[in-house]
């Protein structure tokens, strides 16, 4: 079962990807994790990726795809996997399709966790983080016991720059420009399935498992 997770930043696709991986016993593969693992292990691909990252540049599509294909070739991915954060663009999707085709494989499902921009801005704008211990909260969905104070270590909670409405909107604009076309790409491929991401986490997961069977 080869699954790609699609959805805007803050749509909750990472959470769903982890739950899918746990339920079906397949690895949850995020590009960030792959980069970190290859850099830590000093692989050739990792060294190449680090050169770009150290300069603050995006890792080129071809190299990113090579890293992903290398990862899905590992024994633990033999039964399938959930890709989270890749592909992000049409060239990446085309590279992945070609790489899988060379292995006699193809994507089974592209799951789009659909959440309107307005909901995402509100959702992420309500996040609060403790910079001291890393704990995260949400003013509506998961508030701390004492307003503005971390339950774990008692330090002050902050609204991270990443979660400020203007930053979130910019990230959404980039998503719509770059990643939204993937919805059309995987619709044409006949593998796109969309779920309503505004529901609670368990309901979204129920809808996804209803699709996956």
Does residue 89 contact residue 173 with C-beta atoms inside 8 Å?
no
| Domain-embedded: residue 122 | no
* DSSP bridge pairs for 84: 5, 30
Q: What is the pTM of this model?
A: 0.82
Q: Flag whether 168 is in a domain.
A: no
Count of structural domains, the chain: 1
| Residue 153 counted as domain residue | no
pLDDT at residue 23 in the model: 96
| Residue 59 pLDDT > 90 | no
Q: Is residue 45, in this structure, part of any structural domain at all?
A: yes
Residue 12 included in any domain: yes
The answer to whether position 166 is within a domain reads no
CATH number at residue 9: 3.40.50.300
Nearest residue to 105 (alpha-carbon basis) of 70, 80, 84: 80
Is pLDDT at 75 greater than 90 in this prediction? Answer: yes
**pLDDT tens digits for range 36-46:** 889 999 999 89
Asked whether residue 121 is domain-assigned, the answer is no
Residue 124: how many other CB atoms lie within 10 Å: 22
Is the confidence at residue 100, as pLDDT, over 90?
Answer: yes
pLDDT at 85: 87
The catalytic site residues sit at 13, 88, 127, 160, 171
**What average pLDDT does the segment 121-149 reach?**
92
Q: Please provide the DSSP assignment of 26-64 as one string.
A: --EEEHHHHHHHHHHHT-HHHHHHHHHHHTTPPPPHHHH
Residue range(s) defining the domain that contains residue 67: 2-116+173-212
106 within a domain of the structure (yes/no): yes
């Amino acid at each position: 079962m080869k699954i790609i997770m699609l959805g805007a930043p803050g749509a909750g696709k990472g959470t769903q990807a982890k739950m899918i991986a746990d339920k079906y016993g397949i690895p949850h593969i995020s590009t960030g994790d792959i980069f970190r693992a290859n850099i830590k292990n000093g692989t050739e691909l990792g060294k190449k990726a680090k050169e770009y990252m150290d300069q603050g540049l995006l890792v080129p599509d071809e190299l990113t795809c090579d890293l992903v294909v290398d990862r899905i070739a590992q024994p633990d991915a033999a039964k399938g996997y959930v890709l989270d954060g890749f592909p992000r663009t049409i060239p990446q999707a085309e590279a992945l399709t070609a790489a899988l085709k060379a292995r006699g494989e193809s994507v089974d499902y592209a799951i789009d966790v659909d959440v309107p921009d307005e909901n995402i801005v509100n959702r992420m704008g309500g996040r609060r983080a403790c910079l001291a211990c890393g704990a995260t909260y949400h003013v509506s969905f998961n508030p701390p016991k004492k307003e503005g104070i971390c339950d774990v270590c008692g330090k002050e909670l902050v609204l991270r720059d990443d979660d400020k409405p203007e930053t979130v909107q910019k990230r959404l604009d980039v998503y719509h420009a770059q990643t939204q076309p993937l919805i059309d790409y995987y619709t044409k491929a006949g593998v796109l399935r969309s779920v309503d991401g505004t529901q609670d986490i368990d309901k979204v997961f129920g809808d996804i498992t209803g699709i996956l069977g």
